[in-house]
């Protein structure tokens, strides 16, 4: 009889605030479902204690950790290197211990891309992207690296749209334009994929809708929302009415977890187990 092993492999998240983040539930659900000897713990840590927290994680033999707001940029100085997209974005939400070297990855955009690829490829597609914040940056860099033909950025604050456009032009080969966000923005008819990467519609402001001409949504378009809660945002409902293929924001969240677990454990976990756990804990 072999002796039992009571030592778990450690993963977790450093964020502030930490209590409202459901990622811990979906990751632990996957670990349990697959019988993986791993644990994931939420830690309330901001930039002032991040150096100590990362040193502690390394000392305690963590295999990796997530970083959420406000640590995604701050953490870079404590790591040994960055993955390709994280280096372009200069933002890390997933650190991975690869043979003693700590590498920062960004799974925000990769999670989105995985959701998109369940319905269509990014390669050669024309995107309209609402928003120019962290989620928009992650998504646009990742779809650009995946071979998107063009991205049209539509953002309330023009300077932020310009900054993102400059980053994409300098670091990727995608064609980039930006449009003023007039009240009822009409989506160009040749658009393949429409993405809401703003926070419009996030719980509890569930009735908020994008200032968008819903008549410009066409059935051949794929419409994706980053908002994970509620599952059915106004945009998703409008797009369904217009006959579009829709992608909800929970898919992006779940796929980020799937990708993080693959980095940490090498195992491809079952996304549906994670999705159902989030729906259960958030009462959606």
Report in angstroms how near the CB of residue 268 gets to ligand NDP at its nearest: 19
Give the burial string for 113-135 (b: 16+ CB within 10 Å, else e): bbbbeeeeebeebbbbbbbbebb
Distance CA 54, CA 62 (A): 9
Question: Torsion over CA of 22, 72, 141 and 220, rounded to 10 degrees?
Answer: 20
Report in angstroms how near the CB of residue 193 gets to ligand NDP at its nearest: 16
Residue closer to ligand NDP (CB basis): 97 or 130: 130
Residue closer to ligand NDP (CB basis): 28 or 108: 108
Q: Which helix (H) or strand (E) holds 13?
A: strand 9-15
SS3 (DSSP) at 221: coil
Report in angstroms how near the CB of residue 135 gets to ligand NDP at its nearest: 3
Residue closer to ligand NDP (CB basis): 97 or 277: 277
Report in angstroms how near the CB of residue 190 gets to ligand NDP at its nearest: 24
DSSP string spanning 146-168? Answer: TT-SEEEEE-SSHHHHHHHHHHH
Q: Of 8, 58, 72, 262, which is the active-site residue?
A: 72
Residue closer to ligand NDP (CB basis): 5 or 183: 183
Residue closer to ligand NDP (CB basis): 3 or 183: 183
Q: 58 catalytic, yes or no?
A: no
Report in angstroms how near the CB of residue 132 gets to ligand NDP at its nearest: 5
Report in angstroms how near the CB of residue 175 gets to ligand NDP at its nearest: 20
Q: Which helix (H) or strand (E) holds 12?
A: strand 9-15
Which residues are CB-neighbours of 178 under 8 A, at least 6 positions away? 152, 153, 154, 155, 158, 161, 162, 165
Distance CA 213, CA 232 (A): 19
Task: Characterize the bridge pairing of strands 94-98 and 64-67.
Answer: antiparallel
* Residue whose beta carbon is closest to ligand NDP: 133
Distance CA 191, CA 5 (A): 54
Contacts to ligand NDP by CB under 6 A: 108, 111, 131-136, 155-157, 160, 197-200, 202, 226-228, 249, 252-253, 256
Give catalytic residue positions.
Answer: 72
């Amino acid at each position: 009889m072999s002796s039992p092993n009571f030592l778990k492999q450690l993963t977790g998240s450093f964020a502030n605030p930490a209590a409202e983040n459901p990622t811990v539930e979906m990751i632990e659900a996957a670990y349990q479902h697959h019988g993986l000897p791993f644990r994931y713990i939420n830690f309330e840590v901001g930039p002032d204690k991040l150096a100590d927290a990362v040193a502690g994680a390394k000392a305690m033999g963590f295999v990796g950790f997530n970083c959420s707001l406000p640590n995604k940029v701050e953490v870079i100085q404590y790591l040994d290197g960055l993955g390709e997209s994280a280096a372009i974005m200069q933002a890390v939400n997933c650190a991975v211990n690869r043979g003693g070297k700590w590498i920062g990855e960004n799974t925000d955009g990769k999670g989105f891309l995985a959701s998109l690829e369940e319905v269509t490829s990014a390669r050669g597609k024309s995107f309209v992207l609402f928003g120019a914040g962290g989620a928009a940056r992650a998504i646009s860099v990742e779809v650009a690296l995946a071979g998107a033909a063009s991205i049209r950025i539509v953002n309330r604050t023009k300077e932020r749209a310009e900054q993102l456009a400059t980053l994409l032009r300098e670091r990727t080969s995608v064609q980039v334009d930006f449009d003023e966000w007039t009240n009822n923005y009409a989506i160009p008819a040749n658009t393949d994929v429409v993405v809401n990467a703003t926070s419009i519609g996030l719980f509890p402001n569930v009735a908020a809708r994008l200032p968008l001409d819903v008549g410009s949504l066409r059935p051949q378009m794929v419409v994706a929302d980053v908002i994970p809660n509620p599952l059915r945002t106004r945009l998703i409902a409008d797009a369904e009415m217009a006959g579009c293929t829709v992608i909800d924001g929970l898919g992006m969240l779940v796929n980020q977890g799937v990708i993080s677990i693959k980095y940490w454990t090498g195992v491809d976990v079952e996304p549906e187990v994670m999705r159902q756990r989030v729906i259960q804990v958030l009462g959606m």
